[in-house]
Amino acid sequence: MERTQRAAEQGDGGAVTRQAEEVIRRLRGVLSVRAEADAQGRLEVIHVLGEADRSPKLIAMEVASALAAELGLQVDPRQIRVAGLRDAETGVPAPQARLKFVGLTVASLHGTCEVKVHLEDRGLRYEGVASGPNTTRSRLELVATATLRAVEVFLRASGLLLLDGAGVARVGDRDVAVAVVTLAGQDEEVLSGSSVVRDDPREAMVRAVLSALNRPVGWLAAGRPR
């Protein structure tokens, strides 16, 4: 608690948001979280994606109580923006995710493959990197993993997105890239996305991952400074 208060006093917004996110992720009904700090290092707004069966108002109150009890941070519940998963999936249009795929690079050396995926949001680029065995199946999984890492860089949240599986399936007379992703939290949420392969299956895999994450990333990025 003292370390968090000292970080806030010193204007270390990065440390404050990381510690706050760690506390909030442990709360019941919280699927994912993204916290933002102001120029003075104080918590400014907290975005939470919660389960559909938990009241957003209740989650906001529990978040405020947990931050006060564990970190000594006083946060007005009005600073906590909670989106229920049901709303994020069906009931309410999600904020535009905005992330755009702008390119990828693949390098192979001595049986190892390194993939870098580049995403863009309003002129800023976010790079994700993954490496592993240089096999056909592994390369697609590495592309998917690198895409997840780039999204996490955008969200400033590590360990939030886990790859369950990635591959290309034949559907009718077309090849389709499919990705299955777990959104980490106390109660994990499984997401899936797909994209028709036009030319490069690796690019289709990037788009499949972004398709899977469109809704939750849109909610977590809501209110991001322009």
Residues 93-111: tens digit of each pLDDT? 444 546 899 999 999 988 8
Q: What would the pLDDT profile of 113-126 be if each residue is shown by its tens digit? A: 999 999 998 888 99
Q: What would the pLDDT profile of 133-179 be if each residue is shown by its tens digit? A: 988 789 999 999 999 999 988 887 777 888 999 999 998 889 999 99
Q: What would the pLDDT profile of 58-76 be if each residue is shown by its tens digit? A: 888 889 999 999 999 988 8
Q: Which of 107, 88, 123, 105 is nearest to 206 (CA)?
A: 105
Average pLDDT over residues 31-57: 82
CATH number belonging to domain 2-91 = 3.30.70.1350
- Ordered alpha helix ranges (H), 173-220: 201-220
- Ordered alpha helix ranges (H), 119-200: 136-155
pLDDT computed for residue 193 by the predictor: 92
Fold of domain 100-217: Double Stranded RNA Binding Domain (3.30.160)
> Beta strand 30-37 with 80-84: parallel, antiparallel or unpaired?
unpaired
CA 136 to chain centre: 26
Residue-range domain boundaries for the chain: 2-91, 100-217
Residue pair 119/154 in contact (Cβ under 8 Å)? The answer is: yes
Residue 207 has pLDDT above 80, yes or no: yes
Among the ranges given (133-137, 161-165, 183-187, 189-193), the one the predictor scored with the smallest mean pLDDT: 183-187
Higher pLDDT, 77 or 188: 77
